Chains A and B, each alone.
Chain A
Amino acid sequence: MESDLVLVIVVATALAFDFTNGFHDTANVVATGISTRAVPPRTAVTGAALLNFVGAFISLEVAATVASGIVEADLITPTIVFAGLIGAITWNLITWWYGLPSSSSHALIGGVVGAAVAAEGTQALVSGGLLGKVIVPALIAPVLAFAVAGLGILLAYRIIGRLRPGSVNRGFRLGQLASGGLLALSHGTNDAQKTMGIITLALIAHGDISPDDFHVPTWVVFSAATAIALGTYAGGWRIIRTLGTRIIKMDPAQGFSAQGAGATVILASSHFGYPLSTTHTISGAIMGAGAAKRLSAVRWGVAGNIVTAWVLTIPAAGAMGGVVYGVTRIFGTGALGPVVVSILVIGLIGAIFGRRFREAPGPPPPIPVGES
Chain B
Amino acid sequence: MIATVVDWAALRDVVIASLAAGVGVTVAFSLAIMGLTRFAERRRDDRPLEAWAYAGLAIAGLAVSGTAVVYGIILMTSK
Given contact pairs A128-B5, A131-B6, A260-B26, A163 touches B37 in the complex (Cβ within 8 A): yes
The residue among B1, B5, B36, B38 with the most chain A CB atoms within 10 A of its own CB is B5
Which chain B positions have C-beta within 8 A of A149?
22
Which chain A positions have C-beta within 8 A of B72?
264, 267
Q: Cβ of B25 < 8 Å from any Cβ of A?
A: yes
Which chain B positions have C-beta within 8 A of A189?
76
Stretch at the interface among A140-148, A294-302, A303-311: A140-148
Q: Pick the contact of A152 from B13, B23, B31, B76 — CB < 8 Å?
A: B23
Which chain B positions have C-beta within 8 A of A58?
73, 76-77
Q: Cβ of A226 < 8 Å from any Cβ of B?
A: no
Contact yes or no, B2 A164, CB < 8 A: no
Q: Pick the contact of B15 from A144, A167, A260, A271 — CB < 8 Å?
A: A144
Q: Pick the contact of B18 from A129, A131, A257, A265 — CB < 8 Å?
A: A265
Which chain B residues (6-63) contact chain A, with CB distance < 8 Å?
A: 6-7, 10-11, 13-15, 17-19, 21-23, 25-27, 29-34, 36-38, 40
Contact yes or no, B33 A167, CB < 8 A: yes
From B25, which residue of chain A is reached at the shortest CB distance? A260
Stretch at the interface among A91-99, A170-178, A325-333: A170-178
Contact yes or no, A268 B17, CB < 8 A: yes
Q: Report the minimum CB–CB distance from B29 to chain A (whole Å).
A: 5
Stretch at the interface among A6-14, A153-161, A313-321: A153-161
Which chain A residues (111-155) contact chain B, with CB distance < 8 Å?
A: 127-129, 131-132, 136-137, 140, 144-145, 147-149, 151-153, 155
Which chain A residues (261-295) contact chain B, with CB distance < 8 Å?
A: 261, 263-265, 267-272, 274
Main SS of chain B's interface residues? helix
Contact yes or no, A264 B77, CB < 8 A: no
Q: Pick the contact of A261 from B4, B5, B18, B40 — CB < 8 Å?
A: B18
From A269, which residue of chain B is reached at the shortest CB distance? B14
Which chain B positions have C-beta within 8 A of A256?
26, 29
Contact yes or no, B34 A159, CB < 8 A: yes
Q: Pick the contact of B37 from A168, A253, A263 — CB < 8 Å?
A: A168
Given contact pairs A271-B75, A271-B76, A144 touches B34 in the complex (Cβ within 8 A): no
Give bound CA distance, A256 to B25, whole Å.
10
Q: Cβ of A61 < 8 Å from any Cβ of B?
A: yes
Give bound CA distance, A23 to B11, whole Å.
30
Contact yes or no, A274 B18, CB < 8 A: no
Contact yes or no, A152 B69, CB < 8 A: no
Q: Pick the contact of B23 from A59, A132, A155 — CB < 8 Å?
A: A155
Which chain A positions have C-beta within 8 A of B10?
272
Which chain A positions have C-beta within 8 A of B77?
58-59
Known pairs A163-B38, A182-B69, A272-B11 / 6 extra A-B pairs, C-beta < 8 Å = A58-B73, A144-B18, A148-B22, A156-B27, A265-B22, A268-B21
17 contacts between A and B (CB under 8 A): A144-B14, A144-B15, A145-B18, A147-B19, A152-B25, A155-B27, A156-B27, A160-B30, A163-B38, A164-B37, A175-B29, A175-B65, A189-B76, A261-B18, A271-B75, A271-B79, A272-B13
8 pairs of A and B residues whose beta carbons are closest in the complex: A128-B5, A152-B26, A148-B22, A171-B33, A132-B5, A264-B22, A159-B30, A156-B30
